[in-house]
Chains A and B, each alone.
Chain A
């Protein structure tokens, strides 16, 4: 089955700096890659996603890049703010062919220092 590796496991940045989280996946047939933000004790919230026919997607301070050849994708957060502090998860899906199941990375705990 699909395997998703996520790095780093923890990331501390100064407010205003950028944060980058990287994920690799094993199954080249994966075609959907969402990113979730989870605050303590809360449900994961989708913050951005990208499909395999796109190389990059941006939404205000958040961007995601996908390299299908290398099977990796990254989340970029610019101008970080204290409220960006949370755990971020990447995920990969094989789509309808696999029942739309998501395989999650191990998570990255991001701390933005004011």
Chain B
């Protein structure tokens, strides 16, 4: 079946640095990728939608300059958390629609900013 590979699975970074998270569709072309953030014991909140070849669409309240999203090819979408702060610590997860409304999720990235 359709698989989305997400890396890294865990990352610890210092405040003020940037972190890049990658999601790759392994056996299908993902023209769209959804990026979610999930705080402990909370639901998945959609941050933005990336579309191959065009600008990402951000949800209300999500800072575009802080969460840079790039969808450079039909198999790769990246999320860069810039100038990370402890409050950015969270579980970030991507998903791609694979047809008929179905989504396949990446394995998630646990970001800890110290």
The residues of B with any CB-CB pair to A shorter than 8 Å are: 32, 34, 41-46, 49, 57, 91, 93, 95, 97, 101-103, 105-108, 110
Contact = CB atoms under 8 A, between A and B. Distances in A.
B46 A102 contact: yes
Nearest to A46: B102
Contacts of B97: 100
Interface of A: 32, 34, 41-46, 49, 51, 89, 93, 95, 99-107, 109
A99 B54 CA distance: 14
Please report whether the interface of chain B is mostly helix, strand, loop or mixed according to DSSP: strand
A97 to B, nearest CB: 11
A63 to B, nearest CB: 19
A63 B80 CA distance: 39
Contacts of A102: 34, 46, 95, 103
Contact of B105 (A43, A49, A93, A100): A43
A109 B34 CA distance: 24
Contact of A100 (B44, B57, B103, B106): B103
